[in-house]
Amino acid sequence: DQQVKQNSPSLSVQEGRISILNCDYTNSMFDYFLWYKKYPAEGPTFLISISSIKDKNEDGRFTVFLNKSAKHLSLHIVPSQPGDSAVYFCAASAMKTSYDKVIFGPGTSLSVIP
């Protein structure tokens, strides 16, 4: 059973509009969340993260929102650009435990249409 879920395998958005990528998790021990971006033929690259003590974190065009009660987080990209077209992985970790590893979701493929 997947502990980190990304229920939309793909998403298409017009250039300049907002992209919203969603992620749900089941393990209440998760307290640190990350988004990674992956282009074809490359490894994933770290994009943005958020601790469970916050409900929002911004970095330029990228904002991650965390709703702990709903066990849900989302990544907003505003405005979307064609270079944002990639697969986005949501990931989670339980930093307070000794397990200390990251669980990844299945990914959402974002296409930004010029």
Give me the residues that bind another protein (CB under 8 A), please. Answer: 2, 4, 6, 9, 32, 34, 36, 41-46, 49, 89, 91, 93, 95, 100-107
Q: What is the smallest separation between the CB atom of 72 and another protein, expressed in angstroms?
A: 17
Q: What is the smallest separation between the CB atom of 100 and another protein, expressed in angstroms?
A: 8
Closest to another protein by CB, 18 vs 29, is 29
Q: What is the smallest separation between the CB atom of 40 and another protein, expressed in angstroms?
A: 10
Q: What DSSP letter does each residue of 27-92 carry, written as one string?
A: -TT--EEEEEEE-TTS--EEEEEEETT-SEEEETTEEEEEETTTTEEEEEESS--GGG-EEEEEEE
- Give the tokens for residue 32: 């640190």
